[in-house]
Structure 1
Amino acid sequence: MPVADRLDLTLRLVRGGGRVTLGELAERLGVSEMTVRRDLDQLQEQGLVRRVRGGAVALDVPAESAGFSVRERWSSAVKARIGTAAAELIEPGSTVLLDAGTTTAELAAQLPGRGPLTVAVLSLQAAVRLADQPGIRLLVIGGESRAGERSLVGPLALGALDQLRFDTFVMSIGAVHAELGWSEFDLDDAAVKRAALRRAGQTIVVADSTKLGVQAFARVAPLEAVDTLVTDGGGDIPTLDAIRAAGVRVALIEGEDA
């Protein structure tokens, strides 16, 4: 796993759990505790976590210090490739709901090439990438901008989704596990994703392999609620097997397809 992706997942696991042990992180990440210590030291130097005996705890830092902007700087080329591959699955002339997240922001930049499209966004980052693009009819779903993440959540977002219907929902996800299914680290994000799933003809999940085999705080849906997963290879094989067994198409960006 690239260092940038490992730091991303480590930060989300600490923030999601509040306090996480070295052993738990090593097991989730598939690395040694020595590697976990080095990563936590780096996150502590950036003021994002605090090291404690045997693990780390989340810090009450400004959301913008630990949210989208941090993960965007860490983002590897893998997320851009996932976004490009997922964009190719979008049919011209369709209506698309685009979730928040670093990978969906990468995908947004590719959508003008698939136009004409009507694209509704749950992310201020995606809105910026799609504004004034030829062939794109842009709808910004109302809601509260979640500090740091700039995702649109809350009653206004849920109410707007209830009035609309989409051909495709492109969903980002914090975690996916064979038993828990698709899950998120934030309750508000999970609620919006559940509402979006109900309003779409099909759902495509974009997630790099660091999300596989991970259980987050808030359950979004069972595995079978999704139609397609676009990811990179090298992820947690039992989780990928469970996703396939649930009837979900798995598209690997290396060119393999299941």
Structure 2
Amino acid sequence: MGTADRLDLTLRLVQGADRVSVAELAQRLGVSEMTVRRDLDELEQRGFVRRVRGGAVANRTLDEDDGYAVRASWQAATKDRLGAQAAALIEPGSRVLLDAGTTTVHVAEHLAARGPLTVAALSLQAAVALADKPGIELLVVGGRSRPGERSLVGPLALRTLASLTFDTFIMSIGGVHADHGWSEFSLDDAAVKQVGLDQSARTVAVADATKLGVRAFSRVAPLEAVHEFVTDAAAGDDATHPGGPPTLRALRESGVETHLV
């Protein structure tokens, strides 16, 4: 796992648990405790976590967009490939629910060429990427903007989604695990995804290889709840992503069509 990938996942694990130990992070990431300490020092210097005895806690004093902004610059080329592949799976004329996240913003950028489409966006960044694009009827799902992510969550978002139906839900995800299924680091985001799954005829999940083998805080759904999964080819390399190959096998055994790009 590259440094940028590891920092991304470390930050998500700390934010999802509020407080996490160096030992736990080392076990979850498959690296030494010395490497974890260096990564936490780097994240602390950037203002994203605060070191405490034996571990780290999430820094809740971040500017609202900082958490998203730093991750958006990591693996940008990979996420753009994933975005192009996910968008290519959408038929013109579809009604699409587009999840929040750094990868789904790249999906949004490629969806503009797939019009005509009706797209309901669950993030402010995706809405901006789709605004005023020819052939795109944009709906912005109401709700509370979650600090650090600008994903739209809460009772208003849930009520809005429950009143709509979609042909395809393009779902981002914090973790996918052979035994634990699809999971998220935030309870709020998990709740929105669960309703999105219920209201959509088809779900395409998209995530980079670092998310495979990860058990995030809140379980969203079992593996078979998703129809297709888009990830990068590194997911099949057990040398850099030990959790990748067994997760891919479990997905295929569950009937999930996988796309490696």
Measured against the shorter chain, the TM-score band is: over 0.9
Contact (CA 8 Å) 1:223, 1:248: kept in 2 or not?
Answer: yes
Q: Deviations over 1:69-98 (max 9, x none)?
A: 221133431111111111110111111100
Q: Give me the whole-angstrom Cα distance separating, in 1, the residues matched to 2:228 and 2:87.
A: 12
Whole-angstrom CA distance in 2 between matches of 1:55 and 1:120: 39
CA displacement 1:17-72 (0-9 Å, x = unmatched)? 22222232223223232222221110011121122343322223235265212211
The answer on 1:233 being equivalent to 2:241 is no
Q: Match of 1:234, SS? A: helix
Hey, which bits of structure 1, 4+ residues long, moved more than 6 A? none
**CA separation of 1:167 and 1:65: change in aligned 2, threshold 3 A:** closer
Task: Say if 1:65 and 1:91 are closer, same or farther in 2 by CA, change over 3 A.
Answer: closer
Equivalent in the alignment of 1:252: 260
Q: For residues 133 and 176 of structure 1, what CA distance do their matches in structure 2 show? A: 32
Q: What is the aligned partner in structure 2 of residue 149 from structure 1?
A: 149
Question: Contact conserved, 2:47 with 2:62, CA < 8 A, in 1?
Answer: no
The equivalent residue for 1:220 is 220
- Against the structure 1 CA distance between its residues 5 and 76, is the aligned structure 2 distance closer, same or farther, given a 3 Å change threshold? farther
1:126 maps to 2:126: yes
Residue deviations 1:123-168, cap 9 Å, x none?
A: 1100000000011111111111112211111111111111111110
| Deviation of the 1:177 alpha carbon | 1.2
Distance 1:32 1:232 in 2: 25
What does the per-residue CA deviation read over 1:170-229, in whole Å, with 9 as the maximum and x for residues that have no partner?
Answer: 000111111111111111111110000001110000100111111111111011000011
Q: What is residue 186 of structure 1 aligned with on the other side?
A: 186
SS across alignment from 1:201: strand
Relative to the length of structure 2, the TM-score reads: 0.92
Where do 5+ consecutive residues of structure 2 fail to align? Answer: 236-242
Shift of 1:5: 1.8
> Could you say if the C-alpha distance between residues 63 and 16 of structure 1 is closer, same or farther in structure 2, counting changes exceeding 3 Å?
farther
Contact 1:4–1:76 under 8 Å retained in 2: no
Say if 1:180 and 1:222, in contact at 8 Å, map to a contact too: yes
Distance 1:4 1:193, change over 3 A: same
The number of residues matched between the two structures is 253
Cα distance in 1 for partners of 2:51, 2:124 equals: 33
Q: What does residue range 152-167 of structure 1 map to in structure 2 within 5 Å?
A: 152-167=152-167
Identity of aligned residues (%): 66
Provide the alpha-carbon RMSD of the alignment. 1.5
Contact 1:175 / 1:184 at 8 angstroms: preserved in 2? yes
Could you tell me how far apart the structure 1 residues matched to 2:211 and 2:130 are? 26
| Counterpart residue type for residue 201 of structure 1 | A
TM norm structure 1: 0.93
Partner of 2:173: 173
Residue 25 of structure 2 is aligned to residue 25 of structure 1: yes
Q: Distance in 2 between matches of 1:189 and 1:151?
A: 8
